[in-house]
Amino acid sequence: MERNVGCYRPVGFRNIVMNSGILALAAIALSATLSGCETYLDAKRNVAPGGKLERDNAEARQTLTNVKRENAQLQQAKSQRERELQENERRVQALESDLRQQDAALAHALQARQVSKTRYDQLKRDMDAIRKETVAVAQQNDSDRLSGAADAKADAAKQARLRELERRKNELEAALAQLVKR
């Protein structure tokens, strides 16, 4: 038989396994409790005044305000673009209408022998060239309407082209008026 000396007691393998199992369970329970507390403390900090939730809400409201402002600007730009396209369409239609009237007047002048066949052919070619370019501008305008994208350089070029067509149409109109007066 073994003798116990002082406080020393022999520990068997079974006791070590039982004690370590209890220690492991205690460690797991303690970590679960602490992590649960940490989650609770994090949630409490998040909802406190000035916490993450309040900051996130303020940021979301600011983002919403910025998006609404940008949307209003885009709507305004879209409306302006649509007005420009409608004005271009009106100018093209006016050019086409004037060209039809000049074409009829030129045909009448030829029948009334107020203009020579050579001069008639020259004026008719000029009129057809203006008509062809007017159709091209109208197609570009339609294409711009469908694309929805604005290109400042292309728009400026289209405006210049329309002014040039209107100038040429006016010159043609003046030349035709001179011929008919004779």
Q: Is residue 13 part of a domain?
A: no
**Residue 113 counted as domain residue:** yes
**Residue at 161 is within a domain:** yes
Q: What's the whole-number average pLDDT of the chain?
A: 82
Expressed as residue numbers, the domain containing 102 is 83-181
DSSP string for 53-107: HHHHHHHHHHHHHHHHHHHHHHHHHHHHHHHHHHHHHHHHHHHHHHHHHHHHHHH
Higher pLDDT, 168 or 44: 168
Q: Is residue 39 part of a domain?
A: no
| 37 belongs to a structural domain | no
pLDDT higher than 80, residue 47: no
Tally the domains of the chain.
1
Tokens linked to 178: 């001179």
Question: Mean per-residue pLDDT for 58-87?
Answer: 92
Task: Answer whether residue 97 shows pLDDT above 60.
Answer: yes
pTM for the complete prediction?
0.63
